[in-house]
């Protein structure tokens, strides 16, 4: 086992270890079946969003797998090599865009990536623009978010008190790499709604006044769950439309898919270029996200 794999193994051992050495979760299932099995350390993850379901044609030695997690099964993940770097691609909404934003199993998705050995994630998101200067067809790398989701499982820490810091919600190093890999707007605030409906004009006006730049439905809790597992995470937002009421007329998903499709080639080029630049080993603080975040001696209810 190399150093990196050992660290992953240790980390998950720590996460799963209970005072009484029991690995049973609340449903009584044996947690050993979920213990980390690193396929490839230093793996880069890509979470493909709307219109981005396959990116595997970029790589070699493609394998497909579904990962079991304590939260359920992941969508089918493709693993492959790109510039000799191991990459895992997951379509966030699963095959055929089966899962709408509020039904995505975000915990299973992120846990599965971690289980594979992914420690850095590049996400792609289609978004509506809240700002006339940010136009359909633009790429934007958000540096902050506002979370308006309502019904989602948004943390791994229901049974232990952990408050992760999100002063820098997206990995600064990964953002810098993305910003230098394409023609992008280098900052902006991503507002996440619950969906699946689009926004009302009053909501769009509120999001604008709150400082939002773009709006989407899937960026949260994905970014926070990645932070909770000490993974680096950054997003490439493809602006697919002006948010409702900013441009006249009804918003349809056809226009979203159409713009994403026209930007697909540039998006792929950006992702390939970024992956080539990602250094092995991480110098950011994402890998230490749990330092100073756990309330000492907080007891997991299942231990009582």
Ligand X SMILES: CSC[C@H]1O[C@H](OP(=O)(O)O)[C@H](O)[C@@H]1O
Minimum gap (Å) between residue 132 Cβ and ligand HPA: 14
303 and 87 Cβ atoms separated by less than 8 Å:
no
Q: Extract the annotated binding site for substrate.
A: 217, 241-243
Closest CA to 271 of 168, 142, 184: 184
User: Which one of ligand X, ligand HPA, none interacts with residue 274, CB within 5 to 8 A by kind?
Assistant: none
CB 121 within 8 A of CB 192: no
Q: Which two tokens stand for residue 270?
A: 């950006």
45 lies in the site for ligand X, by CB under 6 A: no
Q: Of 173 and 240, which has the nearer Cβ to ligand X?
A: 240
Q: Please tell me the distance from the alpha carbon of residue 261 to that of residue 127, in angstroms, as a whole number.
A: 14
Taking the least distance from each CB to ligand HPA, the nearer of 253 and 299 is 253
Shortest Cβ 111–ligand X spacing (Å): 18
Query: Is residue 49 involved in binding ligand X (CB under 6 A)?
Result: yes
- The residue of the chain with the least Cβ separation from ligand X equals 49
d(CA 4, CA 1): 8
According to DSSP, the residues that pair with 190 across neighbouring strands are 145, 214
How big is the CA angle at 193 (ends 270 and 212), to the nearest 5 degrees?
A: 65
Interface residue list for ligand HPA (CB under 6 A): 126-128, 193, 198-199, 215-217, 240-241, 243, 251, 256
Which position among 50, 79, 149, 244 is part of the footprint of ligand X (CB under 6 A)?
A: 50
Q: Which of 81, 134, 66 is nearest to 272 (CA)?
A: 81
Q: Residue with the closest Cβ to ligand HPA?
A: 128
Residues of each annotated binding site for phosphate = 50, 92-93, 218
Q: Which does 49 bind (CB under 5 to 8 A by kind): ligand HPA, ligand X, none?
A: ligand X
**Can you tell me the distance from the alpha carbon of 103 to that of 129, in angstroms, rounded to the nearest whole number?**
24
Binding site for ligand X (CB under 6 A): 49-50, 92-93, 101, 125-126, 195, 216-218, 253, 256
């Amino acid at each position: 086992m190399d150093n990196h794999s050992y660290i992953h193994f240790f980390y998950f051992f720590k996460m799963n270890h209970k005072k009484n050495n029991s690995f049973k979760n609340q449903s009584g299932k044996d947690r050993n079946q979920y213990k980390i099995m690193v396929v490839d350390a230093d793996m880069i993850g890509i979470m493909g969003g709307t219109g981005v379901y396959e990116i595997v044609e970029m790589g070699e030695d493609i394998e497909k797998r579904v990962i079991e997690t304590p939260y359920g099964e992941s969508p089918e993940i493709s693993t492959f090599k790109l510039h000799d770097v191991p990459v895992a691609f997951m379509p966030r909404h699963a095959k055929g865009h089966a899962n709408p934003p509020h039904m995505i199993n975000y915990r299973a998705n992120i846990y599965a990536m971690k289980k594979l050995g992914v420690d850095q994630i590049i996400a792609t998101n289609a978004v509506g623009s809240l700002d006339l200067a940010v136009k359909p067809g633009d790429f934007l790398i958000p540096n902050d978010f506002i979370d308006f989701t309502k019904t989602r499982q948004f943390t791994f820490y229901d049974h232990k008190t952990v408050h992760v810091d999100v002063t820098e919600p997206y990995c600064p190093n990964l953002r810098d790499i993305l910003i230098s890999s394409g023609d992008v707007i280098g900052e902006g605030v991503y507002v996440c709604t619950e969906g699946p409906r689009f926004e009302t004009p009053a909501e769009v006006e509120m999001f604008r006044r709150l400082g939002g730049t773009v709006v989407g439905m899937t960026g949260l809790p994905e970014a926070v769950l990645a932070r909770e597992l000490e993974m680096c995470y950054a997003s490439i937002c493809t602006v697919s439309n002006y948010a409702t009421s900013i441009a006249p007329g009804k918003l349809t998903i056809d226009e979203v898919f159409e713009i994403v499709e026209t930007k697909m080639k540039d998006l792929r080029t950006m992702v390939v270029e970024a992956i080539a630049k990602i250094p092995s080993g991480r110098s950011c603080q994402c890998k230490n996200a749990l330092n100073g975040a756990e309330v000492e001696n907080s007891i997991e209810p299942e231990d009582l």
